[in-house]
Amino acid sequence: MSRVKIFWDPKGFELDSIGSKKYIRASDGDTPYISMSVRMLSIDTPELHYPGKKRPSSQDENLYKLAQWIKENRVPIDKKLGEYLYPKLVTKKAGSLQEEQGKGATNYFRALLKSGLNSSKTLYTRALDQPFDSYGRLLAYISPYHNRKKLASMSMIERSTFNLQMISAGWAVSFPIYPSLPSYRDLILLQKVAKEAYEQKRGTWSNSLMLSGYEFRMCVKLYKITKKLILNKSLSSREKNSWISRFCVDMTTREIYSPQEYYEVKPYNRVFIWAKDVSEAVGKMNLIPKQNS
């Protein structure tokens, strides 16, 4: 019989898991170093590999078909959202444009890292309430590391994160998701630079037919769901709507929009909330229903 007196069996409680990682080295008996990918918080860039390892350009024909199905009212999508997406999908080049802009975003980010990091290549990394995503990536804001003396002499713009700089350049769209939101002061700055990039048509915004990364991913999912419906496969209501699941808040009005109404909010004013977090977010951020104009 064990003499252990402490009982701890947290049924239903799941610890964060980051999956398998490559071992690099050990500095002592209880400190191994492992490789880890970072998913930068509050931003979203165009895809280079989606779905899976496929190139976005492989989806050109599928997204064109989706546009045709939208026109024929065969897609489980609200009419106004369909009208918003249709011109972006009917070009037969929606996937190719996503891939082209994905390459542009990647090249810009690599140049940013090369010019922004010092010789030690040290990154300052800050994670918030939700440390990992479902792929085991660390969710974080990253910036060059500066000592306190250097930081004290720098403006907010000078010490901005790489996350913010990507938005400012237009190579990433603003994509804050509750609860991992920037502080109030940082949220104001994020909205400011995102609005400037949008209005000045920088980076991806230079092409009015662009799909943000999250729009491209949801359209690929919507195509697959619609194809199943056209083939007379039975899908539950939940399955039909699984292509879009985040609610959207206008950070300037506190109004909350249903998932298929996100496009009504200016891209630089959007804050997203997973369905499971809506009740909590409404209380903590004092959100109000969308006002009918």
Q: What is the pLDDT of residues 268-284, one digit of tens each?
A: 999 999 999 999 999 99
Q: Is residue 272 part of a domain?
A: no
pLDDT of residue 7: 59
Residue 137 within a domain: yes
Q: Please determine, for residue 119, whether its predicted confidence score (pLDDT) is greater than 70.
A: no
Least confident of 63-77, 122-136, 170-184, 193-207: 122-136
- Interhelix angle for 213-230 vs 94-116, to 10°? 150
What total number of domains does the chain contain?
Answer: 1
The pTM of the full predicted model, rounded to 2 decimals, is 0.90
For the cut 70, the answer to whether the pLDDT of residue 120 exceeds it is no
Does any domain span residue 293?
no
- Can you read off the two tokens belonging to residue 288? 């109000």
Within a domain: 269: no
Residue 207's CB is within 10 A of a number of other CB atoms, namely 13
Q: What CATH code is carried by the domain that includes residue 210? A: 2.40.50.90
Tell me the pLDDT tens digit for each residue of 6-61. Answer: 655 555 555 556 677 788 888 888 878 888 889 999 999 999 999 999 999 999 99
Give the residue with greater pLDDT, 17 vs 201.
201
Asked whether residue 143 is domain-assigned, the answer is: yes
| The predicted structure's pLDDT at residue 53 | 93
For residue 8, tell me if it sits in a domain: no
In a domain, 274, yes or no: no
Is residue 157's pLDDT more than 80? no
Q: Provide the mean pLDDT of the chain.
A: 91
- Within a domain: 179: yes
User: Is 220 a residue whose pLDDT tops 60?
Assistant: yes
Closest CA to 210 of 102, 65, 79: 102
pLDDT at 154: 76
Q: Which two tokens stand for residue 227?
A: 């194809």
DSSP alpha helix (H) spans, the chain: 60-71, 79-89, 94-116, 148-152, 162-168, 184-199, 213-230, 237-240, 278-285
Range of the domain at 177: 39-237
